[in-house]
Homo-oligomer: A and B are copies of this chain.
Amino acid sequence: MDLFGKDLITTQEWTKEELDAVLDLAAKMKRDRFNPRFTSLLQNKTFFMFFYNPSVRTRQSFECAATELGGHAQFLEPKAMRLKTATSAGETVEDAAKVMDRYAAGLGIRILEDKIGAYGEGDDLIREYAYWARMPVFSMAHDKYHPFQGLADIMGWAEWYGKGPGQTLDMSVLKGKKLLVTWGHGALARSWCSVQEALLIGSRYGMHVTLAHPEGYPLDPQVIEWTRANCQANGTTFEETTDVREGYVGAHVVYSRHWMSPDAYKDGEFLKQQEIERALKLTEWICDAEKMRLTDNAIFTHPMPIDRGHEVTDEVASGPRSCIYDVAENRLHVQKAVMALTMSGLL
């Protein structure tokens, strides 16, 4: 296995062995965070971060990751540059990427719903950079996928069902566990990337998967097809439901988050306000203690920031079975692991 220079756009495009290598290294880095084996891997090297969209955790955790590996993450905002975006002209991606290759060891791109004119345009832009650049290109969340969130999720769930955060990681504890990914109402018109990545990686690691949402909130058919295939390969079940409670029954991991409808884009416009008004009417779609009682003592997971009071109640989000802070911490460790493996040639 040689991961040097490998792009990461969705975990679905990496083999199970490659993902295992990332999670194994991430767990070691978490246990012994400033071990000298790790702290100079990116010495004098630069990681470019393109934030078409702002962010708290992604910015913080990627910049910390580079620092902890001895390197430097450059925070770049394409809107203040003269680069092509998904919806405006500028320097060609070919020209930009070929020059950046001369300067940096890796490139991360974040581009979400309101910076594009139709679902898939962010994915196209990232793949165009990945095509032209020799260095690894990562999605730091885009319209379709959020691979580092998926890795952090699965690592956190395995920690909670295994020996606990920071201990030896055994991914097999998730086999046969039931993951519920459920829509929540909310005031943010959120992207599909996090929940889609969760479906993909949960099913890769042998979980039964249930996807629950109201009528009119389907996800990407390609993601559904892949999730179904992953489950089939692992001998697990994949179910979809529009019932707000059914999916909770027997679940071990509950992932409640809002996402936009496919009607969010019209003629290249992102109809944020319309989406929010529509979503806020579906008030029963909230993860609360009553629904959690239907589960098999499930843990609650969320990629944060949480829209508390809409996606989930405070009681559940801040309760004893909430793994949100551990999952958020894991963003740092999985990002360090992927950067080490793809940018430093450690493996």
Contact = CB atoms under 8 A, between A and B. Distances in A.
Interface of A: 34, 39, 43-46, 48, 54-57, 59-61, 63-64, 67-72, 74-76, 80-83, 90-92, 94-96, 98-100, 102-104, 304-306, 308, 318, 324-325, 328-329, 332
A172 to B, nearest CB: 26
Contact of A64 (B46, B61, B306): B46
Contacts of A325: 98-99, 102
A102 B72 contact: no
Contact of A95 (B34, B46, B92, B304): B304
B64 A103 contact: yes
13 contacts: A34-B44, A46-B60, A46-B64, A54-B81, A55-B82, A56-B81, A56-B82, A56-B83, A60-B104, A82-B305, A91-B306, A95-B306, A99-B325
A308 B48 contact: no
A332 B74 CA distance: 15
A41 to B, nearest CB: 11
Contact of A67 (B46, B308, B328): B46
Contacts of A332: 102-103
A95 B64 contact: no
A261 B59 CA distance: 38
